[in-house]
Amino acid sequence: MRNSFLIMAAMLSFLGCSRDAGALSVGDAAPNVTARDQDGRDVNLADVYAKGPTLIYFYPKAGTPGCTAQACSLRDAFPDFSSANIQVIGVSADTVEAQKKFTEEFKLPFTLLADTDLAVAKAFGVPTIPVLGVPKRQSFIVRDGKIAWIVESAKTGDHAAEVREALGKLEAK
């Protein structure tokens, strides 16, 4: 029985299904990290948090079907998020140029960060997909400089609904 557990734990760890040791929890201080956006400008996340509640979502690769569905879900809900003063920041290991192309092709109205060195993903404790070395699909809501909500396996086409539900629960608190 013990050997079966050890084998299963090793397999899950290899597949990236376990939680990273550095993963954040609700109530933790949100990481203060800087990365370049799709226009090549430095974005300091502490400055972003100071402007209000922020959705930080990580996705594996710009332009792939799941990541496009996720981004477009958030794009379509962006007017609602904006009217509620929720900022949206997408993060992947793509280059500034790839993020710019993704933004333009799908008319994304929010900031995308080029996390080519994975510093942002590491700061948030987001694990990478083995072999590919890109961040897993995870999302965080930051409120008052603290992590207020985490989803460790964000949906693609329904991500906006997932975020809306989380925001509703946070507002009810």
> 52-73: per-residue pLDDT in tens?
999 999 999 999 999 999 999 9
Measured CA to CA, the distance from residue 127 to residue 150 in angstroms comes to: 14
The confidence score (pLDDT) of residue 10 equals 37
Told to judge if 67 belongs to the known catalytic residues of this protein, a careful annotator would answer yes
Measured CA to CA, the distance from residue 39 to residue 166 in angstroms comes to: 30
Complete domains list, the chain, with CATH: 22-172 (3.40.30.10)
Measured CA to CA, the distance from residue 51 to residue 33 in angstroms comes to: 16
Length of the chain: 173
pLDDT in tens, 87-123: 999 999 999 999 999 999 999 999 999 999 999 999 9
List the catalytic residue out of 24, 62, 67, 160: 67
Indicate the pTM of the whole model. 0.85
